[in-house]
Copies of this chain bind each other. A is one copy, B any other.
Amino acid sequence: MPVGTSAAVKTLTPHELREVGVEILLGNTYHILHHPGHETVERLGGLSQFMGWGGPTLTDSGGFQVFSLSATRKLTEEGAIFQSVYDGRTISLTPEDACKIQWSIGADIFYALDECPPYPAAKEDVASACALTVRWATRFLSTFITLCEKNGDDGRVPFLVVQGGLFDDLRKECAEQIAELDPPGFGIGGVSVGEPPDEMLRVTEICCNILPPEKPRHLLGVGTPKDLLGAVGKGVDLFDCVLPTRNGRNGQAFTSSGVLNLRLSKWKEMDRSLDDSCRCLTCQSFSKAYLHHLMNSGEMLGMRLLSLHNLAYYQRLLKEARNAILEDNYSSWQKETEQNWE
């Protein structure tokens, strides 16, 4: 899933996303809450209609941004109280609020509020975050059921988050407790917070071994192409990440032959596309020399064309991964793909 932070995937239109194979977008509740506000989004028909997308959307709970963005925040049993990074006002976010806000935004998949501990964190802190996450998940689900009864069940689904940091036993315990609540899907959280990739994969595997295989697992906020292939191998089904768009805006292209930095002067007169095997507009219409020129001249068009290509690459990579799984060929496909990056 491309990340549409503030109801927009940066620099790109929904039409372009669809053309490179995107099927679902992620929106950040924390940002939408501030701009333009969830009531406005609700009055304008919900996130998908508001942003001209028309397809499925997933929203996070806002919790991750409360922990990562807001310097001043307080956690109680009731919920999180934090100062907005936008206007400094004090906002309270409970598991019930998170559910109601996402309902009003109109997301198709939405997330329970969880406590995401930083990396590194002491084991006792992670254990208490797990316990709170489970209690909050229960309250979130109750609110969801109430909203369904009140508004009618229109097919939306709530996902719950597994925490546990890098502690194998905490991951196992938390995954069991969250699985017990039997939601339609799961997020594996507390990753992509600075931990080494190998550790991330280890705890991902622990979670995947416990979570029911017939239900989707979403590894929150991950990652590089290598991270994705590793996690798919462990049993992850869904990803969201800003890397393809953020790194694209910084001049980085993900290709079938590895990562390229388009700012480097070695591309100045390279009259070839980014990736010969890519069918996106960027690769079909523009040379590396032109993309280099755009990035070095500070032209937004360069950021846009690299973002588009990177999303096309990520979509294609995961499509190929899916095919390899269906052909019972995943490990050798993964190995070959990773070798081509070098």
Contacts and interface: CB of A to CB of B under 8 A. Distances in A.
Interface string A256-286: 0000000000001101000000000100011
Contacts of A44: 269, 271, 287, 289-290
Contact of A268 (B12, B40, B299): B40
Interface string A25-40: 0000000000110001
A12 B289 contact: no
Q: How many copies does the complex hold?
A: 2
A304 B293 contact: no
A65 to B, nearest CB: 15
B40 A297 contact: no
Contacts of A289: 36, 40, 44, 50
A303 B301 contact: no
A43 interface: yes
A120 interface: no
B268 A11 contact: no
Given A15-B281, A293-B7, A286 B52 contact: yes
Interface in A277-336: 281, 285-287, 289-290, 292-294, 296-297, 299-301, 303-305
Contacts of A235: none
Given A271-B44, A300-B303, A300-B304, A52 B11 contact: no
A12 B296 CA distance: 17
B43 A269 contact: yes
A281 to B, nearest CB: 7
A6 interface: yes
A51 interface: yes
A100 interface: no
Contacts of A294: 8
Nearest to A289: B44
Contacts of A290: 7, 44, 50-52
A209 interface: no
7 contacts: A11-B304, A14-B285, A15-B281, A35-B293, A36-B268, A52-B290, A300-B300
A-B pairs, 3 with minimum CB distance: A36-B293, A52-B285, A6-B297
Given A6-B293, A43-B269, A44-B289, 10 more contacts: A8-B297, A10-B299, A10-B300, A13-B305, A15-B281, A15-B285, A36-B293, A36-B297, A40-B268, A304-B304
